[in-house]
Amino acid sequence: RTSSTTMGSTSSKESGAPDGGASLSYWSIMRQGYDELVNAIIRPPRADYELERLGPTRFSFGGRTFRRTDMVLMNQRGLALQCSHWEPTERPAEALPCVVFMHGNSSARLEGLNQLSACLGYGMTLFAFDCAGSGKSEGQYVSLGWFERDDLRVVVDHLKGSGTVSTIGVWGRSMGAVTGLLYQVQDVELLQTMSVNAMVLDSPFADFC
């Protein structure tokens, strides 16, 4: 009788029901896939570059001499932001218009070099920086604009307090463009006005959900 009962019983494998080990393995794979997806968004490959790629700290363009000043600003989370400001050595006025360039995801302030000639050629200065979690700045993760807007506010406050900037424009691409949009929303909520004078928003996300 014992033998017939054993022969007539059906194992979990035969019935197709996953046993504990198979279930654990399945959820482990699911969890690993989820973690990889999240990391691909908040911890994309970090742009790695040498400072030499930013160009010389002093150079000539259009018959005028310019300089690049590198500096470190601290954001509200205590993370160091690596920044660069390109401006003329002989200023036609004490305060000049400034464009703040906001780079995209997996990028860095190097991206701002594409706008350097246009900004300098029109009599503006250019300020570019690595957002927290990007390039050479501190931080392990990016937030696709949410915390980056606070980085932008630190930069704008610095420029406004420098006494060398008349008006400020923000030029953002991809994540940088979304950062600009979120910064505007925060401006309206906190100040009921805009703290920057203009924005160029290149390829922002179509949906925040």
Q: What is the pLDDT of residues 81-98, one digit of tens each?
A: 999 999 999 999 999 999
Query: Strand pairing partners for 59?
Result: 66
More confident residue, 122 or 34: 122
Over the stretch 144-165, which tens digit does the pLDDT of each residue have?
999 999 999 999 999 999 999 9
Which residue spans within the chain are E strands per DSSP? 58-61, 64-74, 80-88, 96-102, 125-129, 165-173, 198-202
CB 181 within 8 A of CB 201: yes
Q: Which long-range contacts (CB under 8 A, 24 or more apart) does 190-195 make?
A: 195/153, 195/156, 195/160, 195/168
Note the pLDDT of residue 30: 72
Burial of 3 (0-12, 13-18, 19+ CB in 10 A): exposed
- Do residues 165 and 97 touch, judged by C-beta distance below 8 A? yes
In the chain, count H helices and then E strands.
6, 7
What residues does 173 pair with on adjacent strands? 202
Residue 156 CB-half CA count within 13 A: 22
Instruction: Round the CA-based radius of gyration of the chain to a whole number and report it.
Output: 26
Name the more confident of 4 and 132: 132
Place of tokens 């995209």: 104
Q: Is the pLDDT of residue 208 over 60?
A: no
